[in-house]
Amino acid sequence: MRALLQRVSEARVEVDGETIGEIGPGLLVLVCAMQGDTEAQADKLAAKIAKLRVFKDDDGRMNRSVKDIGGSVLVVSQFTLAADTSRGNRPGFSSAAAPVDGEAMYEYFAKQIAAQGLPIAKGQFGADMKVSLLNDGPVTIWMDNEA
């Protein structure tokens, strides 16, 4: 799985003009299931994200996790994280999981984030979503299965 994390003061996702998920301080996690991804990889990624120390402590150092600050996580599917831009000018997405597999992994991953004791909100798999965020920092972290 691939994930792009953004530390946010707030974030929300809309579909057809309706807000379907929103959070206050926490993490916006854009996630993409790749071909061959397993539930074990999703488990590991969710656990790592929950413990990742990217929030400021009292001394202003990034030393606190989203759990430590009592934050929330907005999980949004984004297959374009699988983009291959190595040839030509049009990205290819063939390394992304097939839609049925991608949706299953997205839903599983979101459940695993919640299982870490974190309040979550979600986007809608496959929908044309409008994502709004107030990036805090900005702090943006790229993670792969190997992370």
Between the alpha carbon of residue 45 and those of residues 11, 55, 85, 115, the distances in Å are 21, 18, 24, 12
State the alpha helices, DSSP H only, in the chain: 39-51, 99-115
Q: Which domains does the chain have, with CATH numbers?
A: 2-144 (3.50.80.10)
19 tagged catalytic: no
Question: Residue 24: its pLDDT value, please?
Answer: 98
- What mean pLDDT is predicted for residues 114-136? 97
Task: Give the H/E segment covering residue 68.
Answer: none
Q: Categorize the per-residue pLDDT at 145 as very low, low, confident or very high, splitting at 50, 70 and 90.
A: confident
78 tagged catalytic: yes
The model's pTM: 0.95
79 tagged catalytic: yes
Catalytic hit among 19, 35, 38, 80: 80
What are 13-22's pLDDT values in tens digits? 999 999 999 9
